[in-house]
Structure 1
Amino acid sequence: MKKILYLVRHAKAEDRASFQRDHDRELVPEGIMAAARVGRHLAELGVKPGCLISSTANRARDTGKVMAEQLRIDPDKMVLEPKLFDGGPKAYIAAINGLNPDCESAMLFGHNPDISYFAEYLTHADVGSMSKGAVAIIEFEGLTWAEISGRTGRLVDLILPKKLKES
């Protein structure tokens, strides 16, 4: 059985202000539009993840909500995982390994540099630094979520918001 993981870096957010916690930064209009554009593109490809998991940071959570709406998935079904914010790669692997075995595809919303490192760790592909709103699509053959670890996945595609036509 094949598992598909969509790793999504949050879309463009407001710059950090001295009075504001990094966790509380919001998406800017450009980020909302880019997330919607990527979500529409994924919907056109027939993507329908069974599980959504996100960092609790506003910008990651809101990227997830915008994309879920485009994919016609109830955004309230998204699970928020606090450890995905500054928890490092161990938090990402723990989130994936803990997914419901019945879920065939999952979408995870997180932050750089961890999400880019995680994509490379899983696939050993040269992903580089994922741009804001980018989606790495990774397939795993014959593994459960609990069995996924380094170099067990194959990078199928890397979708970049700037490469998609604006509509």
Structure 2
Amino acid sequence: MKQIVLIRHAEAENSYLGGSDFDRDLTTEGITHAIQLGRELNTEGLEVDKLIFSTAQRTKETTRYISELLNLSEEKLEEAPSIYNASVGQLYEMIQGLDNTMNSVVLVGHNPAISYLAEYLTEEFYSFVPASAVAIELDVEEWNHIVKGFGTIKFTKRM
């Protein structure tokens, strides 16, 4: 059995304030929601083998708060520049290529790809607002055996 937890980053500053989309920081509310989401995930007793995240500033900040609340060591964190602006197909390929010794992986990314991936894996629509998560159980022994609609939603969180 494998599990993937898909997380959309917390609320970021508006892009009209200047600067690049990639470098947007979390808002004060975004920080609060990232912390709340980390606490909620912790209450689920979430075991994490690897947390993979986009290198965009808002996902790095979201990851920092969540990983601290889940007590994850640096070895369990992995930056993945390819998540930023990834298509659902690219995220799916990333998951299929995961090391089979890992059973529970968290992926922190961006919409719309993160929403499309959840829908692809479960054939259920889930609207990812900022600082939301969906845990998907996959009844497979190897990540590359995942196919469309094979996942079952275990829990959802919205801040």
What is the TM-score of this pair, normalised by structure 1? 0.89
- Unaligned 5+ residue runs, structure 2? none
Displacement, 1:48? 2.1
Query: For structure 1, which segment, 103-112 or 43-52, has the greater mean C-alpha deviation from structure 2 after superposition?
Result: 43-52
CA RMSD of aligned residues (A): 1.4
Query: For structure 1, which segment, 66-75 or 13-22, has the greater mean C-alpha deviation from structure 2 after superposition?
Result: 13-22
Question: 2: CA distance between counterparts of 1:159 and 1:111?
Answer: 16
> Do structure 1's residue 28 and structure 2's residue 20 form an aligned pair?
no
Counterpart contact for 2:134–2:153, Cα < 8 Å: yes
Counterpart contact for 1:64–1:75, Cα < 8 Å: no
- Unaligned 5+ residue runs, structure 1? 162-167
Partner of 1:93: 92
1:146 counterpart (122, 144, 147): 144
What is the TM-score of this pair, normalised by structure 2? 0.94
Counterpart contact for 1:51–1:78, Cα < 8 Å: yes
Displacement, 1:56? 1.1
Q: Please state whether the residue corresponding to 1:63 is helix, strand or coil.
A: helix
Q: What does residue range 1-167 of structure 1 map to in structure 2 within 5 Å?
A: 2-17=1-16, 19-75=18-74, 77-127=76-126, 129-161=127-159
Deviation digits for residues 98-138 of structure 1, max 9, x if unmatched? 211111100000001110111000000121x2110100110
Instruction: Supply the AA of the counterpart residue of 1:73.
Output: L
Question: 1: CA distance between counterparts of 2:88 and 2:82?
Answer: 10
Q: Please state whether the residue corresponding to 1:17 is helix, strand or coil.
A: helix
Deviation digits for residues 55-93 of structure 1, max 9, x if unmatched? 111111211111000001125632111111112112211
Counterpart contact for 2:6–2:106, Cα < 8 Å: yes
Question: 2: CA distance between counterparts of 1:113 and 1:6?
Answer: 16
% same residue? 33
User: Runs in 1 of length 4+ with deviation above 4 angstroms?
Assistant: none
Counterpart contact for 2:140–2:146, Cα < 8 Å: no
Counterpart contact for 1:6–1:136, Cα < 8 Å: yes
Displacement, 1:45? 1.6
